[in-house]
């Protein structure tokens, strides 16, 4: 019988790509999510019955254990960018990751891959970064041979980065950003998924891998590239950190007063994160150590950002028409 992998958060942005790759590799895939009815799109990744979404709450021991019953490997992709209700940074990114690893060890699961973040830092001012580091420590305490993947900003058709700012560019002549000079090393989502696949299907060195694409650019330069692709002229306006903190505080208050109905577009914790560069460290193991040649942004971004152009799919046709002679 083919091997079984349980992917926690397997219907999320990164998780779905890992699920697809593992199914193509011939594994049975169990996609553990809070809302399995909304994850039915993963079933066609394999043959009938090969990929199955199941109910799981990463905050509950019994739920996590049931999801990994009989699994040969587990992958944890669960993470949040902002706390909401019971899903705090501690409960999800620290306790949740540790729970998956602890139960995997107790149930004799042979392999574990944990998706963390390049900004994980136990001494960071950011709660996001601290809990990412705590999650890694919890994983390694129970599964010392686990492979931890730390990607930089992840881009792809369903991303929440380029899609978000491309959508914002429709609203006016100014595109505001926080930390315009902060450096990023965006990595293609399928490269992250391939790294997880390689870690599970080949004999790789265990430990932490920092995943970044071939290009290091500032936030401002990334926005300029994105604007060029969607053919919009906008002023990229840097919001100073002190002003961003004040704005974020007001937005968080608005979220509280609305009982969570209105989400804060940016939080103070995210502002703290944006103070630090998000690039691969010197000497860190990375995609090259896994035999992966990273995909460059220009070869992918136009494939899904075209819909933000002034005329959408017809923009290229209009440009061609301008070159026609009467």
* CA–CA gap between residue 25 and residue 46 (Å, rounded): 10
The answer as to whether 135 is a domain residue is yes
How many other CB atoms are found less than 10 A from the CB of residue 316? 14
- Chain centroid to Cα 223, Å, comes to 19
* pLDDT value at residue 132: 96
* pLDDT value at residue 312: 80
Identify whether the C-beta of residue 18 lies closer than 8 Å to the C-beta of residue 42.
Answer: no
- Could you give the number of structural domains in the chain? 1
* pLDDT value at residue 263: 83
CATH number at residue 21: 3.40.50.720
Identify whether the C-beta of residue 29 lies closer than 8 Å to the C-beta of residue 23.
Answer: yes
Q: Which two structure tokens, joined as six digits, stand for 31?
A: 């996609």
Backbone angles phi and psi of 63, in degrees to 5: -65, -45
* pLDDT value at residue 325: 57
**pLDDT in tens for each of the 326 residues of the chain?**
699 999 999 999 999 999 999 999 999 999 999 999 999 999 999 999 999 999 999 999 999 999 999 999 999 999 998 888 888 999 999 999 999 999 999 999 999 999 999 989 999 999 999 999 999 999 999 999 999 999 999 999 999 999 999 999 999 999 999 999 999 999 999 999 999 999 999 999 999 999 999 999 999 999 999 999 999 999 999 999 999 999 999 998 888 888 777 888 889 999 999 999 999 999 999 999 999 999 999 999 999 999 999 988 777 777 777 776 54
Domain that includes residue 21, residue range: 4-155+187-212+279-293
* CA–CA gap between residue 250 and residue 255 (Å, rounded): 9
Q: In a 3-state reduction of DSSP, which class is residue 222?
A: helix
The answer as to whether 252 is a domain residue is no
* pLDDT value at residue 110: 94
């Amino acid at each position: 019988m083919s091997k079984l992998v349980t992917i926690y958060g397997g219907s999320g942005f990164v998780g779905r790509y890992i699920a697809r790759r593992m199914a193509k590799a011939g594994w049975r895939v169990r996609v553990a999510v809070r809302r399995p009815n909304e994850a039915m799109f993963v079933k066609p990744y394999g043959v009938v019955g090969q990929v199955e979404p199941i109910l799981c709450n990463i905050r509950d021991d019994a739920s996590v254990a049931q999801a990994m019953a009989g699994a040969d490997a587990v992958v944890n992709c669960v993470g949040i960018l902002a706390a909401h209700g019971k899903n705090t940074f501690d409960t999800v990114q620290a306790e949740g990751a540790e729970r998956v690893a602890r139960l995997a060890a107790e149930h004799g699961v042979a392999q574990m891959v944990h998706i963390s973040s390049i900004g994980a830092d136990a001494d960071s001012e950011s709660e996001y970064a601290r809990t990412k580091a705590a999650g890694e420590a919890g994983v390694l305490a129970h599964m010392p041979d686990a492979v931890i993947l730390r990607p930089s900003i992840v881009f792809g058709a369903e991303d929440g980065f380029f899609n978000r700012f491309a959508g914002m560019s429709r609203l006016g002549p100014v595109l505001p950003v926080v930390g315009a000079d902060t450096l990023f090393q965006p990595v293609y989502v399928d490269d992250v998924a391939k790294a997880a696949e390689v870690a599970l299907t080949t004999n790789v060195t265990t430990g932490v891998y920092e995943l970044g694409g071939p290009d290091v650019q500032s936030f401002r330069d990334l926005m300029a590239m994105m604007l060029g692709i969607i053919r919009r002229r906008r002023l990229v306006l840097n919001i100073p950190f002190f002003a961003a903190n004040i704005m974020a505080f007001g937005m968080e208050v608005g979220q509280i007063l609305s009982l969570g109905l209105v989400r804060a577009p940016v939080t103070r914790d995210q502002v703290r994160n944006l103070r630090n560069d998000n690039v691969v460290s010197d000497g860190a193991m990375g995609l090259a150590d896994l035999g992966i040649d990273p995909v460059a942004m220009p070869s992918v971004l136009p494939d899904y950002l075209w819909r933000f152009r002034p005329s959408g799919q017809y923009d290229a046709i209009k440009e061609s028409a301008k070159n026609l002679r009467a």
